[in-house]
Amino acid sequence: MKRLTQLFLILTAVAVIFIGCEADLSTTDDSITSSQTRGSMSQVSSFGSNPGSLAMYKYIPSGMPSNAPLVIAMHGCTQTAADYANSGWKDMADAHKFYVVFPEQNSSNNQNKCFNWFEPGDIARDYGESKSIKSMIDNMKSNYSIDASKVFVNGFSAGGYMAPVIYAVYPDVINGMSVN
């Protein structure tokens, strides 16, 4: 029951954030005023075990507090990490001060760049893509002040199918999830 309550709260919070950003999801880096500072997005080339052969991108808002939340945000088919990051995630992370990791699928794993939520070798704990995503989380926890009780996963399209996989196989790591 506790996880169901957490899931409801996360889904509600994400819905509120998206409704608040709905007016202009196409905001670009140029829209930040001079009194605001944009964070940075970068690729992490070595983040630990990567049996799923995924790429890791992280977004770090400026001025992060200690013990901040972490969101794993997974793109849809044919998209990239940057596509999903630019759909409003960077603005939300800047405004609400949370870290974001954007796992990115590559066409050698799936020709449409879909996460392989339907492949047994990618959805079991400590195997394939799920292990790669767990390694990304571990990397962030090792390098930043992450509140371990505030690690969430989100996904869109195929990423939306992979989000409950990660939530289910790592219940000791993921505290809530949402699907767009």
Considering just the CA atoms, what is the radius of gyration of the chain in Å?
15
87, 130, 157, 178: which is the annotated catalytic residue?
157
- Rounded to the nearest 10 degrees, the angle between the axes of helix 158-169 and helix 128-143 is 70
Question: How many angstroms separate the CA atoms of 127 and 109, rounded?
Answer: 14
Active site residue 157: yes
Q: Rounded to a whole number, what is the distance in angstroms from the first to the last CA of the chain?
A: 23
Strands 55-60 and 40-44: antiparallel
Please list the active-site residues: 157
